[in-house]
Amino acid sequence: MQVQEATGSEHWNRVKKRLRAELGDDVFSSWFARVDLEEHNDGTVRLSVPTRFLKQWIQSNYNERLMGLWKGECDNVHKIELTVRGAMRPRQPSAQVAAGLPAPKRPKSSMSDPRMDGFCDSNSVAAAQAVTAALGRGDNAGDVARDVLQGAALDPKYTFDTFVEGDSNRLALAAARQVAAGGAVTFNPLYLHASVGLGKTHLMQAVASKVRASGRKVLYLTAEHFMYRFVSALKAQSALAFKETLRTIDLLLIDDMQFLHGKQVQQEFCHTLNALIDGARQVIVAADRAPSELDTLDDRVRSRLSGGLVVGIQEPDFSLRRNILTTRVTQTRRSYPNFDVPEPVLDYVAKHVASSGRDLEGALNRLIAHNQLTNQPITQEMAELTLRDLIRSSEPRRIKIEDIQRVVSKHYNVTKADLLSARRTRTIVRPRQIAMFLAKVMTPRSLPEIGRRFGNRDHTTVLHAVRKIEELARGDQALATELELLKRMLDA
């Protein structure tokens, strides 16, 4: 038994090492640092975690990857069990396990307190008063309150004065200005959606800076920060303090909403959203697509987000792109008085770098660097050479992962829910792999993002699917023809 235990521990250490290498230190520390190996016996691996939330998160997002890594260590592993250990539960010595002695009784954890399930508990007022009082003390509730209220850092460059207005963003700018001006809460929540680099974060931080300057309490967080703060509060058994602190916010801003995952985290966000809106507090949310297209969100969260003002920001037209460049050149001259870009070059860049304001700034930064480092004037020829990888002669049709899922589902007579599910029957697995392959070759999305859009799968699962379809297509002419047909359907 002692040899088996040592072998199991060695296997687990190697699994953790590979997880850390694949996920990175930050993600690994957030989700796996407190996962312990309890038992490895008869093909079953039993792992323990400190909270129910962590158990649900790992089961939803990493169960398949854990199984794959354990099978790589031990061929006979066929099941991974996750259990929740008590917050104060002592680890049982291995000799005690081997001898068949019973484990110590688990103390009742405050994590199972029904008051943690929402805001509507009888002690909410008292808890809010306790949190407020704790801010002036050094206890745990005060630490939680200060940590929550700190929020993410704001970029001082992101203000209304530096935001360039155009037809594609005029409505979003007007709504953001009205929210920042205060007064009656009219648009709640305000939901901004756009592709990357079109100004969502700029507008949100401009609102946050202006409202904060007026003395009101502002909390700006990305969805991933919100998840991290909530999980940290669960670990510290201070979830109630976390919730009550959020209820004191005058303006809550959540960016990158598409990355909010996990049933319990989404329930907590929905409770927060309801409490703030019912209390006439303002909420602004931003994501890369409309609420109805956020398939990973709970239906109640999507419904609540859709109930406010939903505003999309479109790609900038030529006039807006030209104005953005002119504004940035003016700002650059404050640091480099002799910097100059001829009008024809600005027209050339505005015409050919058409995807986003962020790409325009990147293009201008290249011209600045070339000019300052080589002391050569900016000319049309220099711009063409420096920006050749950004220049596109024609704008291809932008294909979304939702389009791919819809076309593949219809072609193979399966549902979109099947593609996102954990089902592993051949009639589901092959269409899912084909959809992942098409998402990789026809969209600019990264492997982790594609995995999230296919039921929160790991990026290695997506990579396996892409390589599998590539390999099959090389030897199966019928499959290769089918893939070309699907591509033509998507390009149509």
List binding-site positions for ATP.
197, 199-201
What string of DSSP letters covers 152-197?
SPPPTT-SSTTPPP-TTTHHHHHHHHHHHH-SS--SSSEEEE-STT
Q: Which two tokens stand for residue 277?
A: 């809106």
**Cβ contact 159:188 at 8 Å:** no
Name the strand (E) or helix (H) holding 481.
helix 477-491
Cα 164 from Cα 162, distance rounded (Å): 6
25 burial type by CB count under 10 A (0-12 exposed, 13-18 middle, 19+ buried): exposed
- Backbone dihedral angles phi then psi of residue 285, each to the nearest 5 degrees: -125, 140
Cα 101 from Cα 113, distance rounded (Å): 30
Q: Beta strand 44-49 with 36-41: parallel, antiparallel or unpaired?
A: antiparallel
* Amino acid identity, position 394: S
Cα 185 from Cα 175, distance rounded (Å): 11
* Cis peptide leading into residue 189 (ω within 30°): yes
Q: Specify binding-site residues.
A: 197, 199-201
133: which DSSP letter?
Answer: H
* Residue in the structure block whose two tokens are 């058994």: 237
Cα 200 from Cα 158, distance rounded (Å): 10
Residue 451, number of CB atoms within 10 A of its CB:
23
**R_g of the chain computed on alpha carbons:** 26
Cα 261 from Cα 61, distance rounded (Å): 9
89: which DSSP letter?
Answer: P
**Cβ contact 288:258 at 8 Å:** yes
